[in-house]
Structure 1
Amino acid sequence: MIKFLPFDTSLFGYRVGQLQLGRCLPDLEKVNNQAKNFDLIYVMGKPGLVKLGGWSPISTRVDLVKNIIKTDLIQSPKVDQKVEVSEMIVSGNLSQSDQKALRELIFSSGQWSRFKQDLLLANQEYEKLYSTWWETIKAEKHKVIVARISGKLVGFITFKLLRGRGHVGLFAVKGSEQGSGIGRKLMHETLVMLDGSGFKLLGLSTQKANKRAMDFYKKFGFQPIKETLIAHWRPGLKPENID
């Protein structure tokens, strides 16, 4: 029932597992007995089931998808023409300024992450997890599109091909540049690149509480297809007593 997660366990330094709920609640007595072997368990499932089981949710993940249409391939005239967008070769050596900017963007991309929102995670779990993202991007050969102003990196989006569609991994714009159309330009370039490769679908996940992101994706025509409530369960506490 509870799946051992070796990557998270190695990264965080304690035993981590995942409980994926199906259509109904599992045998909670068996779950509680198995949970004694873990320090942290991600409980994931439909909102009603997670709450029924007594686990206190930390976030709601929303999966969205978009069909790429012809109008998506037309660049908006509202975008600042000083912004230069291009694909980054992730296998190459990056300058120190790019490395620093990427690190800042990677961390800012996860501000609404459940690992950031969970105040009981006090062992730098968020920093450890997001620090590994760039290595994952390189290892799995994700596409990386970056935005620059006067040569300085101010935004990026990463995506990979997954089951016949593109899927966004990380997406962020420098705080001081947000609202200037950089995000729109990065997303537009992603759609153009996917369409040029013969792919007509783009998927991504975000947090429901991130209203700004939800509004952005809605304007681009993304449609929600699934909501998953996620709880962080510490077995040392009874589920119904976790705040």
Structure 2
Amino acid sequence: MKVILKGWDSNFFNLKVGEYKVENNVGQNVKAADFDLIYCYSESEINLSLSNFLNSYSEIQLNFRKKIIPINYKHPEIFELNQLSEFNINELYELAYESGKYSRFKLDSKFSEKQFQELYEKWIDNSINSQFADIFLIFFKDEKITGFVTCNVGKDSASIGLLAVNENQQGKGIGRILIHSLESYLHKNSIDILNVVTQSENNVAIDSYKKMGFELITQKYIKHYWKL
């Protein structure tokens, strides 16, 4: 099986980035020589031996799903981003870094801190202009953005993109308020399934999602292979 070019990632990182999906948990001959970095996806733990490549990072990605219960929820500190006449973009960037602290782009030492931050800044920028997100809700209190959630909406379901709460405000229920507000918004728009992805190391997020009624549906193993 050939490695498939990841165009957006390649352009952003100025590298030739590809993806390889392991079929039936059996590695096949991989034509990898032309790539600088390969993301390998599999349904269970598997080790590929790629000549002249280093496996720099591995993670387990967990996909949770919830059937939205009909809810009419409104919180005075929750706003759609476009309802604000002005806001501090740097507050969103800082929150985005916080949301990505368990990201493979943060924890793989082959990526620099600058690359990680620029990636999440781009995620915010493209969520504001609706390229990466259909919904952008924020928790706005005392003239500051304390948390936010972004969401992509499909025909029958929706998926959370980024969810973040200021590090100093965590444990106060802001994440729960954001998700309940999102659920109410989705229910009003006839969407009844909500998905969210996190990493197996993020125990706080996993516990929170389970308490809010999310169930683990699938898990995916992701490995990074860098050319030596």
**TM-score, structure 1 normalization:** 0.83
Pairing 1:153–2:150 present: no
Kindly state the Cα deviation for residue 104 of structure 1 after the two structures are TM-superposed. 0.7
Q: Name the residue aligned to 1:67.
A: 67
Pairing 1:100–2:101 present: no
> Root-mean-square deviation (CA), in Å?
2.2
**Residues of 2 paired with 1:119 and 1:224: CA distance?**
28
Paired positions, count: 220
CA pair 212-75 structure 1, distance change in 2 beyond 3 A: same
Which structure shows the higher helix fraction?
1
**Residues of 1 paired with 2:6 and 2:176: CA distance?**
36
**TM-score, structure 2 normalization:** 0.88
Which consecutive segments of 4 or more residues in structure 1 shift more than 4 A? 54-57
For structure 2, the 5+ residue unaligned runs are 50-54
> Which structure would you say has the larger Rg?
1
Question: Which of 110, 116, 123 in structure 1 is aligned with 2:106?
Answer: 116
Report matched runs for 1:1-243 at 5 Å: 1-28=2-29, 31=30, 34-48=31-45, 50-51=46-47, 53-54=48-49, 58-70=58-70, 73=71, 84-89=77-82, 94-95=86-87, 98-122=88-112, 124-137=114-127, 138-140=129-131, 142-236=134-228
Q: Which moved more, 1:57-66 or 1:175-184?
A: 57-66
Q: Name the residue aligned to 2:52.
A: none
What is the SS of the residue equivalent to 1:35?
coil
**Residues of 2 paired with 1:139 and 1:85: CA distance?**
19
Q: Percent identity?
A: 28
**Residues of 1 paired with 2:78 and 2:25: CA distance?**
47
For structure 1, the 5+ residue unaligned runs are 237-243
CA pair 206-163 structure 1, distance change in 2 beyond 3 A: farther
Deviations, residues 126-163 of structure 1 (Å, cap 9, x unaligned): 12221211232123352111102222110000112124
